Structure 1
Amino acid sequence: MGRDEKLKFKYEGLLGRGNGKNVDGEANARLEKLKELILWEGLPDSASDGGFCGRGSLRGTVWKALLGVADVNVDEYLQLVDKGASNDYQKIFNDVYRTFSKHEEYTSRVPREMLVRLLNAFVHHRGNTKGTYVQSMSVLAAPFLFLMPEPEAFLSFQIFLRERIPEYVYKYVGVHRGCDLLERCLQLLDPSLYKRFLEFKLTPQMYAFPNISSLGMCVSPLNDSIQLLDVQLAYGSHLGVLFSLGRLLLASEKIMQVRGKLPITTREMENGFGFSAAQVLSYTLTRIIPEIDDDLYKQVEQHTGEKGL
């Protein structure tokens, strides 16, 4: 049995599948073991493939466990879909057209119409008030559709916004706070890079807003971004800010060498500077979190409005 299969077997056991038994007994203990497995070993390379026990992908099943998604009311979702275009339809349509449009694996599995349908249903679920939809929602909803059946993706996405990032989807209040916190951490951990940005009056709102508002899901490649979202779902959405910071610090030397012109752009941030999820995670755990004082880390931890972690 290869590493991928062994790792898959571990996840199936913790999810109560594979041999059909509740392997570890207590649900909370299994959940903690699941989180640890995500952090230290990651998910199998095949985790995003469809068809896991007839319920979408293994990764999708893991995400539902982390979000506490249980019974899915398909009829309720269909009723929302039947309401048709919402008051935010045009904005949704325009954003969906751009969402992961160059990622062939995603576009082959998730038709644009499906994402439009889910987001319109979400607006209807929230009362169909114009302005309920904000731009980052398309990028945040898309991975759920990539990994699980549509009604399950809808419920998971709902819970995700409500429980994990409520401050991010209300006028971007938490996102702006996250940008400010990234800058404070940058000043602490790399004063030279911080001063370099000051020379150009360059703030995180100018170069990191898409990264932070999407929890890094706008960063290519998609498979890497999904791996970092695994960890955020397990240990907190606030880690998105620290992962964005990690990419900056890893690229610090390269950025500092740029002279006479703007040292960084939004596009460079969205390309992730070429660093893998494993590099970013390792750097964040070993070089960033240990250097942030308790008060600052607490502010980072609380800025998304996340509940129950």
Structure 2
Amino acid sequence: MGGEDVLKSEYEKLLRREDGAGEEDVNERLNKLKELVLFKGLPDCASLSGSCGRGSLRGTVWKALLGIGEVNVDHYKELVSRGPSVDYQKIAIDVARTFSKHEEYTSRVPREMLVRLLNALVHERGNEPETYLQSMSVLAAPFLFLMTEPEAFLSFDVFLTERIPNYVFKYIGVHRGCNIMNKLLRQLDPELYTRFCEFKLVPQTYAFPNISSLGMCVLPLSDSLRLLDVQLAYGSHLGVLFSLGRLVLARGKIIRVKGKIPIITRDMQTGFGFNSRQVLSCTMQSIIPQIDEELYVEVENHTGELGD
């Protein structure tokens, strides 16, 4: 059995439901699952769809991390039956450009599926105008990529409600995240911070898409999913730190730019060419140990994530 198969078996063992398991045992298995996500990552095959319409291993891991139990398919069908929501036009426009050039994604997730899920979400939340925000299409897409449609709907709804409530309430948490990134830059890399100040650059101008999407706007999707795995395991607040990690990794290139703006939004959205393993290593080993306690509390709280 190869290394990938062994890793897959480790996950399957932890995810296997055992009758009569007590709360202590369940919590222990969940903690082991989180550690496995952080230290070993998921196998390369984790995003592949299962047989008979089942979701992927990664999707199953996400559901476990979000505490998703039985899915009420009939409830989702009822929401879909209500038709277009008040935010339908905005949703349709955004969905048309969500991972539109990502062949693996588009072959598995038709546009109408993402439109359905997002409209159902607006209906679930009272069909009030401005319920849908632009970043939601990019955040919802990975769930449909990894799960069946009803599973993706419930998981995404729980994700928004419990993990990033401040991000989807008028972008309040996203703006806080941008301000926190600025504070972190000033504390951890004064030279880079000063360079940005010369051009009056703040994270709202170059990192808003990255922070609001928890880094999911960075392609390839298959690589960015690895960072979302860790955020689901250890907290959505890590998203802003992963965005900072890309800046720190690219600082040499940014500092060398002369006579023009040293960074633009597209640079952040391409991830500067660094992969998830590099970003994760930089963030965990170089950035987090340097953040003072008071500022780290601010980092942890800015998404509004509900505690255990």
TM range (shorter): over 0.9
Query: 1: distance between equivalents of 2:52 and 2:235?
Result: 27
**Letter aligned with residue 204 of structure 1:** P
Q: How far did residue 308 of structure 1 move?
A: 1.9
**For 2:53 and 2:24, how far apart are their aligned partners in 1?**
24
Matched with 2:15 is 15
* Aligned-residue offset at 1:224: 1.2
Between the aligned partners of 2:148 and 2:170, the Cα distance in structure 1 is: 29
Match of 1:299 in 2: 298
Structure 1 equivalent of residue 195 of structure 2: 196
Number of residue-to-residue matches in the alignment: 308
Distance in 2, matches of 1:85 and 1:54, equals 26
Counterpart residue identity of residue 61, structure 2:
V
* Aligned CA distance change for structure 1 residues 53 and 303 (closer, same or farther; 3 Å): farther
Cα distance in 2 for residues equivalent to 1:246 and 1:188: 14
Q: Secondary structure at the match of 1:124?
A: helix
Asked if 1:36 corresponds to 2:9, the answer is no
Any conservation in 2 of the 1:80–1:125 contact (CA below 8 Å)?
yes
Given that residues 55 and 61 in structure 1 are in contact (C-alpha distance below 8 angstroms), is that contact kept between their aligned partners in structure 2? no
Tell me how far apart the structure 2 counterparts of residues 255 and 67 of structure 1 sit (CA, whole Å).
Answer: 37
Q: CA 1:54–1:83 in structure 2 vs 1: closer, same or farther (change >3 Å)? A: closer
How many Å apart are 1:57 and its aligned residue? Answer: 0.1
Shift of 1:21: 10
Distance of 1:115 and 1:95 partners within structure 2: 10
Quick one: distance in 1 between partners of 2:43 and 2:25? 24
Deviation at residue 54 of structure 1 after TM alignment: 5.9
Q: Which amino acid aligns with 1:10?
A: E
Report matched runs for 1:199-238 at 5 Å: 199-238=198-237
* 1:246-279 CA distance string (max 9 Å, x none): 0000000100000100100000000000001000
Other-structure match for 2:244: 245
How far is 1:53 from its partner?
A: 8.5
1:149 is matched with 148
Give the corresponding residue for 2:267.
268
Q: CA deviation at 1:25?
A: 7.7
Tell me, in whole angstroms, the C-alpha distance in 1 between the residues paired with 2:24 and 2:289.
34
How far does residue 221 in structure 1 lie from its aligned partner after superposition?
Answer: 1.2
Q: Deviations over 1:144-186 (max 9, x none)?
A: 0000000000000000000000000000000000000001001
In structure 1, C-alpha distance between the alignment counterparts of 2:105 and 2:296, rounded to whole Å: 34
Aligned 1:1-309 pairs, distance under 5 A: 1-16=1-16, 26-51=25-50, 55-309=54-308
Judged with a 3 Å threshold, the aligned counterparts in structure 2 of structure 1 residues 181 and 29 are, in CA distance, closer, same or farther, namely same
Extract unaligned runs of 5+ from structure 2. Answer: none
Take 1:63 and 1:137, find their aligned partners in 2: how far apart are those partners? 17
Distance in 1 separating the partners of 2:191 and 2:52: 51
44-53 or 242-251, which moves further after superposition? Answer: 44-53
Q: 1:276/1:20 Cα in 2 relative to 1: closer, same or farther (>3 Å)?
A: farther
SS at match of 2:94: helix
SS in structure 1 of the partner of residue 27 of structure 2: helix
Whether the 8 Å CA contact 1:232–1:240 is kept in 2: the answer is yes
Relative to structure 1, the CA distance from residue 4 to residue 237 in structure 2 (aligned partners, 3 Å threshold; closer, same or farther) is: same
> Superposition RMSD on alpha carbons, in Å?
1.7
Matched residues in 2 for 1:2 and 1:20: separation?
Answer: 30
CA-CA distance at 1:114 after TM superposition: 0.1
Q: Which amino acid aligns with 1:27?
A: V
- Equivalent residue letter for 1:118: L
Q: Is the 8 A contact 2:181 2:244 kept in 1?
A: yes
Deviates more, 1:28-37 or 1:182-191: 182-191
In the alignment, the residues of structure 1 paired with residue 68 and residue 165 of structure 2 have an alpha-carbon distance, to the nearest angstrom, of: 17
CA distances 1:49-95 after superposition (whole Å, capped 9, x unpaired): 00068631000000000000001110000000000000000000000
Contact 1:219 1:270 in 2 (8 A): yes
8 Å CA contact 2:164, 2:304 repeated in 1 = yes
Confirm or deny: 8 A CA contact 1:52 1:58 kept in the other structure.
no
C-alpha deviation, 1:20, in angstroms: 9.5
